[in-house]
Amino acid sequence: MRRWAWLWLGLLSGLALFLVGCGGSGSSTTAQLRILLASPDAPEVNALVDGKSVAANLAYGNAAAYISVQSGSRHVQVVPVSGGSPIFDQTISFASSANQTLLLTGESSRSRLAWLLTPTLDMK
């Protein structure tokens, strides 16, 4: 079982290196966030930041477009489109001017959903 965990961690780390986004210049009080649903058994979901919908009908293998979020601590939830309890419900801290991807993977049906917040590379 540990071998699979290390394999997933390695794959996710490698994937994070290839997630490329556009960077900004100067100082800002916002960060850029996108959400990638990589859990094959997860239902279609909606994403909320501080209770406001930021992405709808996100399915396995798809990433939401970048959204601007205020820097600092933000309450992020991912809820099934059909309703019910969130499959992800965490407070996450975002740095000013950061471009980040929230990668959700694992088994949502067994409440074993893992998450990884990765910096997105700026390849200017």
How many angstroms separate the CA atoms of 28 and 94, rounded? Answer: 12
- pLDDT of residue 3 exceeding 50, the answer is yes
pTM (two decimals): 0.72
Query: How many domains, the chain?
Result: 1
Main-chain phi, psi angles of 16, to 5 degrees:
-60, -35
**Range of 108's domain?**
2-122
CB-based burial, 65-80: b 16+ in 10 Å, e otherwise: ebbebebeebebbbbe
Q: Please tell me whether residue 79 adopts helix, strand or coil conformation.
A: strand
* Greater model confidence, 20 or 67: 67
Name residue, tokens 């997630």.
Answer: 19
Summarize pLDDT for 45-92 with one digit per residue, the tens.
999 999 999 999 999 999 999 999 999 999 999 999 999 999 899 999
- Assign residue 28 the CATH number of its domain: 2.60.40
